[in-house]
Amino acid sequence: MKMIVGLGNIGKEYDQTRHNTGFMVVDALAKKYGVDHFKIHHEAMVGEFFSNGEKVLLVKPTTYMNDSGRAVRPLMDYYDLALTDLIVVYDDMDMPVGKIRLRQKGSAGGHNGIKSLIAHLGTEKFRRLRVGIEHPAHQKVVDYVLGRFAKEQKADFEIGVQNAIAALDDWLAGAEFSQLMNQYN
pLDDT digits (tens, 9 = 90+) for 60-90: 999 989 999 999 999 999 999 999 999 999 9
**Would you state the pLDDT for residue 68?**
96
Asked about 19 being catalytic, the answer comes back as: yes
| 114 vs 107: CA distance, rounded Å | 8
Residue 122: which residues within 8 A CB-CB, separation 6 or more? none
Find the angle CA(24)-CA(74)-CA(81) to the nearest 5 degrees: 80
* Amino acid present at 124: E
Q: What is the mean pLDDT of residues 51-63?
A: 96
Query: Which of the residues 19, 41, 42, 135 is marked catalytic?
Result: 19
Query: In what order do the strands lie in the sheet containing 54-61?
Result: 39-40, 44-51, 54-61, 2-6, 86-92, 127-132, 100-103
* pLDDT tens-digit map of 113-135: 999 999 999 999 999 999 999 98
pLDDT tens digit string along 84-110? 999 999 999 999 999 999 999 999 988
Cβ pair 131, 161 in contact under 8 A? yes
